[in-house]
Amino acid sequence: MRRWAAGGLQGLAVAAGAGLLLALPQVATRDIVTAVFFALIFITLAVSYDILGGFLGYLNLGQGAFFGLAGYVLFILIVKVAFLQHLGPAGPALAVLAAVAFTALFARLAAYPLFQLRGAYFAMATFGLMLLLGHLITNLGGLTGGAYGLYIPTELYLPLRPAYTLALLLTGLSVALNALLARSRLGMGLQAIRQSELAAAAIGIDLFRYKSRALVLSSLPSALAGCLFALYSGYIDVQNMLGAEKTLFPVIMAMLGGSGTVFGPVLGGVIVRAIDVSLKNYLVLPVPALGIYGLILMCIGLFMPQGILPFFLRRRL
């Protein structure tokens, strides 16, 4: 009975939150809507990271690679394939589909070498993959714009309100995907692999197939978020598409809120973005911002190793 009541309250809270977020552009200033838009982008990254980090237990430090790669493929198609610019809204839409498909293929191919590794070696390899991608983009200047980046025509920019609505929809779909995954055969297989790869293989689970599907699945929301971010910004370069925060923030958000839970990355995302905005606009501290996040992670590891959401849910039960 208590669980049923808790589930009902959770559903009401989600519905109320979604309603408030939908109404936000009508009542809030442009600065607030922009800040929430960026928060939604990062929350989507955190939720998609948690497919590997939460279900499979693999620390993926290259989640931002899918974000950045999709944004670059999108802009290369728009800038280099001239007829797409003359199709109106259909041009960018087709380019987005192509960019997401290319990113999913990239994830599938990357799975072969990556899943030969485990633990810290896997984490280091994924981070190295992101660094390699950034290096290639910088040096392929004729195609990618190199250090100068790429612009799209101003008429193809995505205005704030539709960008915000799409970001909210994408975040909601990402959370729903994780909720469905938790109850699916794939999700249960990933959790079995997390508990023991030897035991999972012994009961007939194809380890590589499950892992590679998880990697491809996690690339899709990140790729869409990268396309959305790029279309809203109108300009991309290595720093804003493949910067360290695109990899570190999703990990911090998921671990802070509660990796392996449906709403943990969302909670962590809200907290981290609130801290980030405060550090940038209102507080002047004698240490770098990443030092603050490192301190937060240390405290979580010491006092709430499962994250904030599981800690408080366990206390209630």
Q: Does any domain span residue 4?
A: no
Smallest Cα–Cα separation from 235: which of 158, 146, 138, 149? 149
Smallest Cα–Cα separation from 160: which of 23, 38, 266, 16? 38
Count of domains in the chain? 1
pLDDT of residue 289: 66
Q: Does any domain span residue 136?
A: yes
* Side chain identity at residue 231, one-letter code: L
pLDDT of residue 5: 45
Distance (Å, whole) CA 240 – CA 261: 28
Residue 265 structure tokens: 């990355």
pLDDT of residue 286: 57
Q: To which H or E segment does residue 172 belong?
A: helix 160-182
Q: 82 lies in which domain range?
A: 29-242
Asked if residue 315 has pLDDT above 60, the reply is no
Asked if residue 316 has pLDDT above 80, the reply is no
What separation in angstroms does the CA of 228 have from each of 103, 232, 306? Answer: 14, 6, 31
Q: Does any domain span residue 74?
A: yes
Q: Does any domain span residue 219?
A: yes
Asked if residue 8 has pLDDT above 90, the reply is no
> For residue range 37-91, what is the model confidence (pLDDT) as tens digits?
999 999 999 999 999 999 999 999 999 999 999 999 999 998 888 777 777 777 8
* Side chain identity at residue 265, one-letter code: P
Q: Does any domain span residue 163?
A: yes
Asked if residue 164 has pLDDT above 50, the reply is yes
Q: Phi/psi of residue 236, each to 5°?
A: -135, 150
Q: Does any domain span residue 145?
A: yes
The model scores a pTM over 0.85: yes
Average pLDDT over residues 224-246: 92
Distance (Å, whole) CA 173 – CA 266: 12
Q: Phi/psi of residue 206, each to 5°?
A: -80, 105
* Percent of the chain with pLDDT strictly greater than 70: 91
Which residues does residue 150 pair with via DSSP β-bridges, in sequence order?
Answer: 236
Instruction: Give, as one character, the DSSP assignment of residue 151.
Output: E
Q: Does any domain span residue 94?
A: yes
> For residue range 88-99, what is the model confidence (pLDDT) as tens digits?
777 888 999 999
What separation in angstroms does the CA of 295 have from each of 58, 200, 224? Answer: 22, 36, 31
pLDDT of residue 136: 94
Q: Does any domain span residue 99?
A: yes
- Cβ atoms 258, 309 nearer than 8 A: yes
> For residue range 112-133, what is the model confidence (pLDDT) as tens digits?
999 999 989 999 999 999 999 9
Query: To the nearest whole number, what is the mean pLDDT of the chain?
Result: 87
Burial of 198 (C-beta count, 10 Å sphere; 0-12/13-18/19+): exposed
> For residue range 259-300, what is the model confidence (pLDDT) as tens digits?
888 888 999 999 888 888 877 777 666 556 667 777 877 877
